[in-house]
Amino acid sequence: MLVILADQLTRIMESVFEAYLGPDSVLASAVGQAVGSGEPEDIPKRNTDVWVLGKRYNAIQELDVIRRDIQSRLWCTYRHGFMPLGEVQLTTDKGWGCMLRCGQMVLAQALIELHLGRDWFWTPECQDATYLKIVNRFEDVRKSYYSIHQIALMGESQNKAVGEWLGPNTVAQILKKLVLFDDWCSLLVHVAMDSTVVLDDVYSLCLEGDSWKPLLLIIPLRLGISDINPLYIPALKRCLELDSSCGMIGGRPNQALYFLGYVEDEVLYLDPHTTQRTGVVGQKLNAGEQEHDETYHQKHAARLSFSAMDPSLAVCFLCKTSDSFQQLLDKLRQEVLGMCTPALFEISQTRAVAWDTAEDIEWPTMPDIDWPAGASDTDSFAIVEESAREGDAAGSSKTSERAAV
C-alpha cells in the first residue's frame, strides 16, 4: 500500500514540475519543427567549415560524418523517476540540474577520448565493454560514480543544497573531487582559478616522477557583465579548434548548455533541457537496456550566436600526456592568448603571493586629518560581527553566478 502511494505521489510531483516549468527543450522543439518541414536545420547547408571538438569538417560534403560525431558524444539530460534525492526527496532534476548535466557531458567526453580515442564512433548496436563502463558511470543510480545523486550530494560540500542551481565553477570543483574515487577513469581534474593556469599546480597534481596522469583542465571564465564581450569570441573559436578541446560548460541566460563546436558565428551545443525517464544501460543485454542507451545520444546539435552566450563559462581541455600538455600550452600562448587584450586567461609558472602577510609590509605613516565639524571620538561605533560578514560574503558569492535552468 505504501509503495502504491509513493508511486502516485511521484507521478503527482512530476506532473507539477511539468505544469510549472512548461515544455522541454528549445532544441527538441526546433528539431521537431524541422523534421515536420523536411531536413533538420542543425548544420547550415552551405560550403563552410564546421568545427567539432578540434576536428574540421565541410558542412555539405561531410554532413553525415558531422552528425555521427555529434551523436557519439554522451548527451546527458534531465531525468525523472530516479531514487529520491536529498531531504526534499526529489525524483527529477528538471528545473535545477542543467548545469550538472553539462558537467557530466564534458567529463564523459574526456573519458571517451581518453579510453576510446577521438576517432571512435557510437552505433546503436555498440556493446564495447569500455564504452559501457563509461555510460554506466553516468546512470542516475546512487552507485554510479557521476550520477545526479553523487554530483548533487557532493555539491553540499560546496555549500550548495540539493536542488539548488550550480554555476560552472562549482560543477568543476565537484568533478575534481568525484574523479578521485574512480580508479578506473585514470583521470585528474584541475580547475584553474582566477582565470590563471598555474603550471606549478598542474605539475604537482599530474606528475609522479616521470609519470604523467591524464588531465582534464577546466578554466572558469567571466567574459563580461551581462553580455559576452565580443572581443573574446575569436579566442573562444580557436579554443574549440584545438585538438585537445573538450568543449565548454556554459549556456545562455537562464539555460546551461554544453558547447562542443562552432560554424561561422554560431556555437554548436547539446541541450540538457529534455526530460527523459530514468533507467539503466547495464550491458545492453535486452531491448530495454538497448533503448535506454539510445537516450544518451543526439545526432542533431543546435546553434546559438556567440554574442548570445552567457559571459560565465568554462573552457575545457584534455591532456593525455605531458607532451600533449606542453603542446597545448604552446598553442594557447601562440594562437589564443594574443588574440585579444586583455587575454582570455593567463598562464603563470607560480601562484601569485597571497595578500595575507600584513606583518611583513611597512605601512606608510597616516597623515593628520582635519575631520569635519561634528565628528568626535565619543560618536557611537559598532563592530560588524564575523557571522554577519560571512553572511554578506555568502550572499554576494551567490549573485556572482547567473541562474540557469
Q: State the catalytic residues.
A: 98, 271, 273
> Do residues 208 and 181 lie in contact, with contact meaning Cβ atoms separated by under 8 Å?
no
Distance separating alpha carbons of residues 43 and 50, to the nearest angstrom: 8
Coil, strand or helix at 315: strand
Q: Are 314 and 168 in contact (CB under 8 A)?
A: yes
State the Cα–Cα distance between residues 329 and 125, nearest whole angstrom. Answer: 39
Strand partners, 7: none
Q: Which three cell numbers stand for residue 248?
A: 565548454
CB 124, CB 290: distance < 8 Å: yes
Q: At 346, which helix (H) or strand (E)?
A: strand 346-348
Distances (CA, A) of 274 to 29, 95, 239: 10, 11, 27
Say if CB 392 and CB 384 are below 8 A apart.
no
Q: Helix, strand or coil for residue 216? A: strand
C-alpha dist (Å) from residue 343 to 32, 250, 328, 335, 347: 40, 19, 16, 11, 10
Q: How crowded is residue 219: how many other Cβ atoms within 10 Å of its Cβ?
A: 25
Can you list the alpha helix ranges (DSSP code H) found in 24-90?
A: 26-37, 63-71
Backbone phi, then psi, for 108, in 5-degree steps? -60, -40
**C-alpha closest to that of 405 among 271, 294, 292, 291:** 271
Rounded CA separation 196/208 (Å): 23
Three cell numbers, residue 63: 554532413
How many Å apart are CA 176 and CA 345, to the nearest integer? Answer: 20
